[in-house]
Amino acid sequence: MRPSGLCELPRSVDDFTGRAAELVWVSELVYAESAPGVGVVGLVTGSAGLGKTTFAVRAAHSVRPSFPDGVLFLDLFGMSQRPLDAGDALRLLLRALGISDQHIPGDVQERASLYRSLLRDKRVLVVLDNAASEEQVRPLLPGGGAGRALITTRRLLSGLEGVRRLVLGPLPLPESTRLLTGILGDRSASDGEPALTRLSELCGGLPLALRIIGNRLVSRPGWGAGELAARLADEERRLDQFTAGDLKIANAFGMSYEQLADSARRMFRRLAVVPGQDFDAALAAVAGGVSIADAWEALDDLVDLGLLYDSIAGRYRFHDLVRLFARDRLHEEESTVEREALAKRVTSWLLRMATLCGQWFEPGYGRPDRPDVDLAVVSSSEEADRWLRVNVDNWLGAMRAALDGGRYSLVLDCAESMHWFSDRWAHSPHWQEVFTRGAEAAAALGDPVQQATQLNYLAWVHSVPPSNPKAVLRHVADALQLATRAGATAQIAWAHEYTASAQLLLGRPDEAIASSTRAAEMFKVIGDIDSYVQSNAAITKCLFDEGRYAEALERYRELLAVLDDPESGMTPSVATHSRPLALICIGQCLRHLGRRSEAIITLSEGIDLLDTLRASDYRQAGALEALADLLAEEGRTDESRRSYARAAQVFEAIGDTEASSRCHALATPTP
């Protein structure tokens, strides 16, 4: 019989919510089997504020009937400046197991041996809370038999062998709201579900944050949940609101921060200037002012302590509240001059990197002869494409910061470099902001030609479905005025071309033909064969929309011949990307002319070429749906359904839910 009260399990909270799957995981430890001599050990890891201790206590209470010889709880003080050493921990545990002080060996190894022998013969659960390191807990683990151990720690303790691991994450929003409602009790009805849901969102799924907010509301009956949510909406003061008596979320994060080496602390706080939600080691190295090798080391330390989340894609992110803590540390520990230099360095790197990647899609562009040694290496258009997409929040945030800081050339260079790439990612929601900021930067630099160029790009953005022809006309009017005043013939021609696209959308094909013809003539005069061909394609589209399919077919075939002619003067890369679109247009003409077999062959060829180019947008989606229709008419049901399914996927990716649902329904066999 062990002495009463030693290492007693703390009380559980009556409003514990969620973690159902995790509680099942702990219950499975009770009857889990392991190799001979290897004790059953569960390791629960997670960052500060996730409620690891609360969870472990609740789990231990739930399985207590399975441990008739007792459940022991020991705080190892892993986040303190002086964690409990293994020898002292063993002495406390041995006393709790009924060993008197005079029979406890003086040697740590002897204590550990006696401890393991007791756990082998007793049905005991030992909860080791807040572990500091592998060295601290190894002597405290059972060596096989009936005893079980459950460890909680902020660190990953990746050096421990043969343990079962459980990573606690933030609570999902419904469970967060239920926990907050449970803490508030009867008053939750008067606060209202929308306000409580908003508060739960701002807590980011951290049980500690929810506990603090709930306790603040309970202790102040005059406060409303909506009022507190409004306070928390202010990022500048949000972290300060997470305080209730001796509970303070910043203290929980601070304990992890204090465990870091100086270099990792510096990396942590400087990462707060990254504009987007996530980042990679290359950007972390820029923010930290270190090599990538040193950045990896610091990032590993931050992940190990739960101050960052990582992913298999090699990207890292903060919890929202941890980001605010990092920002506070940055303001407290670094001077204004240092912070401003850091922000400029990160902004400059992001915009130069984005510009480099965007230029990969310009006609005739290749790997630069003298790459910027400060930038990450980009060896192909595929790498450039991926970097731009996964880092869009970062370089777009850098554009905003640079524009606000008067660094207009950086902004304009970046916006201009996106011209060709934007067509590859036509349905991205970011282009309106990119080219708007480009136009603002050009205006600030007093460059009317570039301002007209950016306004024409904006007109193109609004011509992409779902189109806004009035916005197109508004932007081209401004572009035309600027370009005419500056004598910029190319931008005058593009203004006419985008005017034509708006006129066609408004159901005025005759006016559209006239505008595209005018643009084509101007492109021909200045020798821009690429744009000349595009204007002729626009004229042919007008004929198609008027139902003049035979004329349109003939003109599209003439255009295809130009694209296939190496002596045409077209830029090869432009011709390569234009060819599948021409084939799709020819296929659509053949379809309307009732020439199904030819249409199927031609549409399939165009779609295959788009797949090769990895160009997936509204044009590919429309071609896939047209192909599916034709295959269905030919009785090729399985092929038709596959094409409808692909069309549904592309429509969903570009945000056209109505078309996606339509194609998905046609792809699904009827019972």
Give residue-wise pLDDT tens across range 308-360. 999 888 999 999 999 999 999 999 999 999 999 999 999 999 999 999 999 99
Closest CA to 252 of 212, 225, 205: 212
Q: Which amino acid is at 536?
A: N
Instruction: Give me the mean pLDDT over the 434-448 stretch.
Output: 98
Burial of 430 (0-12, 13-18, 19+ CB in 10 A): middle
Q: Report d(CA 289, CA 295) in Å as an integer.
A: 9
The angle subtended at Cα 162 by Cα 157 and Cα 164, nearest 5°, is 75
CA atoms within 13 A on the CB side of 315: 12
Burial of 81 (0-12, 13-18, 19+ CB in 10 A): exposed
pLDDT in tens, 177-229: 999 999 988 777 777 888 899 999 999 999 999 999 999 888 888 888 888 88
pLDDT in tens, 83-95: 999 999 999 999 9
The angle subtended at Cα 532 by Cα 526 and Cα 538, nearest 5°, is 145
Closest CA to 400 of 370, 441, 460: 441
pLDDT at 365 over 80: no
Question: Kind of pairing, strands 148-153 and 316-317?
Answer: unpaired
Per-residue pLDDT band for 366 (boundaries 50, 70, 90) equals low
Instruction: Give me the mean pLDDT over the 486-503 stretch.
Output: 96
**3-state secondary structure (DSSP) of residue 358:** helix
Specify the residue for token string 């203290």. 251
pTM above 0.85, yes or no: yes
Contacts of 363-366 with CB under 8 Å at 24 or more apart are 363/420, 363/530, 363/571, 363/573, 363/574, 364/571, 364/572, 364/573
Question: How much of the chain is helix, strand and coil, in % rounded to 5?
Answer: 65, 5, 30
Instruction: Give me the mean pLDDT over the 162-190 stretch.
Output: 90
Question: Kind of pairing, strands 40-45 and 148-153?
Answer: parallel
Q: How many other C-beta atoms are found inside a 10 Å radius of the C-beta of residue 508?
A: 16
Q: Report d(CA 325, CA 208) in Å as an integer.
A: 15
Residue 74, strand partner residues: 128
Let me know: does 453 contact 416? Beta carbons within 8 Å.
yes
CA atoms within 13 A on the CB side of 204: 20
Alpha helices in 31-81 (DSSP H): 52-63
Closest CA to 38 of 133, 138, 123, 131: 138
Question: Kind of pairing, strands 164-167 and 40-45?
Answer: parallel
Closest CA to 40 of 114, 155, 141: 141
pLDDT at 370 over 70: no
Let me know: does 529 contact 551? Beta carbons within 8 Å.
no
121: Cβ–Cβ under 8 A, 6 or more apart, which residues? 145, 146
Burial of 369 (0-12, 13-18, 19+ CB in 10 A): exposed
Average pLDDT, the chain: 92
The angle subtended at Cα 570 by Cα 566 and Cα 574, nearest 5°, is 110
**3-state secondary structure (DSSP) of residue 148:** strand
Beta strand extents in 385-484 (DSSP E only) = none
CA-based Rg of the chain, rounded to a whole angstrom? 32
pLDDT in tens, 387-413: 999 999 999 999 999 999 999 999 999
Per-residue pLDDT band for 3 (boundaries 50, 70, 90) equals very low
Q: Report d(CA 527, CA 541) in Å as an integer.
A: 23
pLDDT in tens, 114-138: 999 999 888 999 999 999 999 999 9
Q: Report d(CA 14, CA 229) in Å as an integer.
A: 25
Q: What is the DSSP string of 213-256?
A: HHHHHHH-TT--HHHHHHHHT-HHHHHHH-EETTEEHHHHHHHH
Instruction: Give me the mean pLDDT over the 555-570 stretch.
Output: 92
Q: What is the DSSP string of 160-192?
A: --S-EEEE--PPPHHHHHHHHHHHHGGGHHHH-
Q: 314: alpha, beta or left, given left = phi > 0 and alpha = psi -120 to 50?
A: left
Q: How many other C-beta atoms are found inside a 10 Å radius of the C-beta of residue 255?
A: 17
Alpha helices in 526-617 (DSSP H): 529-545, 549-564, 572-592, 596-613
Q: Report d(CA 226, CA 231) in Å as an integer.
A: 9
Between the CA of residue 116 and those of 31, 93, 106, 124, what are the distances in Å? 18, 11, 16, 11
pLDDT at 653: 87
Q: Which amino acid is at 188?
A: S
